[in-house]
Amino acid sequence: MEINLWVVLALLALHFIADFILQTDWMATNKWKDPDALLSHVFIYTLCFFVFTGIVSIVTGAALIWLYPFIVGALHYFTDKYTSRWTHRLWEEWTHRLWEEKKVHWFFVVIGFDQLLHFIQILLLFKLLS
């Protein structure tokens, strides 16, 4: 089964809203070390996917697999658990040196890698479960 382009765009927009707009400064700056910050972020993220799944089910009449938000949330937890530690290390320990050497792009490479992992997880899982 092919994934509709509009569904892909909706999932990516949902990810952006849940991962960036609804993530507070406290969550973003503490999730690398504080399980409560990470779990709060993942809870809100997962809740967004539950709402999306519900809306799509109502609008289309499709019986989407309600396991999808749980799995997306769990994958998001593990991805952020490790990538947030990696970006924290780059930000706190390496930024000054990397800035002087004009190599700050590695911080953003890690952010991009984090997003790539999330996109792959969201879309592949949607494809597998639909």
For the cut 80, the answer to whether the pLDDT of residue 95 exceeds it is: no
pLDDT at res. 40: 99
Give residues with Cβ within 8 angstroms of 95, minimum separation 6: 104, 107
Q: Give the separation between CA 41 and CA 22, rounded to whole angstroms.
A: 8
pLDDT band at 106 (very low <50, low <70, confident <90, very high): confident
The predicted structure's pLDDT at residue 20: 96
Contact 27, 40 (CB under 8 A): yes
Average pLDDT score over residue span 11-36: 97
What average pLDDT does the structure give for the chain?
Answer: 89
Structure tokens at 65: 């697999």
pTM of the shown model: 0.84
Q: State the pLDDT confidence band at 60, using cuts at 50, 70 and 90.
A: confident
pLDDT attached to residue 55: 87
